[in-house]
Structure 1
Amino acid sequence: MPEKKEPAPGDGLRSVRTTSLFRAVNFELYVKPNLVIMGLGLTAFVGCVGYITYMRSHYDAMGYYPAVQEDGTEQFVKKKSKWD
């Protein structure tokens, strides 16, 4: 019978006694990090945030602002001057 090793600091969740269901549901806690997938995810996230920032500045430069209508919906409306 193998002797049980005492968990040491830095062992992480692998040293904790868990059920198979917990390991199946939370598999990302037990697998080794994949740098390629992490890089692709980071690139996609930065691309999405950049696109949202670009579109927001694009609408601001065109003179649009988000206005809330009477029924509660939000719509982009072009700014109008009271002097026109």
Structure 2
Amino acid sequence: MSGTEADKGKEVPGEKGFRTPGMRGVTTTTMFRAFNPELFMKPNKPVMVFGLVSITLCVGYLGYMHAMKENDQVLYQAVDSQGEKYMRRKTSKWD
């Protein structure tokens, strides 16, 4: 038996029954592909970096605005039931 006769029994990647690994090899409808394009596209690193930086900046800005809002609360002079005065931060009805 020669080497070529032994190879005849093995499947070659181009033969019938061979499937592409991952979601690209699955038979799907056009509507499924239209609503889930990220499953069928190759990863695009520059777009991923841009998205990650954008989300990070948005969350950082929201944190900054929250910190500025807390620092901006004005103190006022309150009087307790015994007539003593003390400083208190303004609060909203929601706190």
Give the structure-1-normalised TM-score: 0.64
Q: 2:78 aligns with which of 68, 77, 82?
A: 82
> Corresponding residue for 1:41?
51
1:14-40 superposed Cα distances (whole Å, 9 cap, x missing partner): 222212221222111100011101111
Matched residue of 1:31: which SS?
coil
> Corresponding residue for 1:19?
29
What's the RMSD between the two structures over aligned residues?
2.1
What count of residue pairs does the alignment treat as equivalent? 66
Unaligned runs of 5+ in 2: 1-14, 80-84, 86-95
Give the structure-2-normalised TM-score: 0.58
The structure with the largest alpha-carbon Rg is 2
Instruction: Report % sequence identity.
Output: 35
Alignment-mate amino acid for residue 30 of structure 2: S
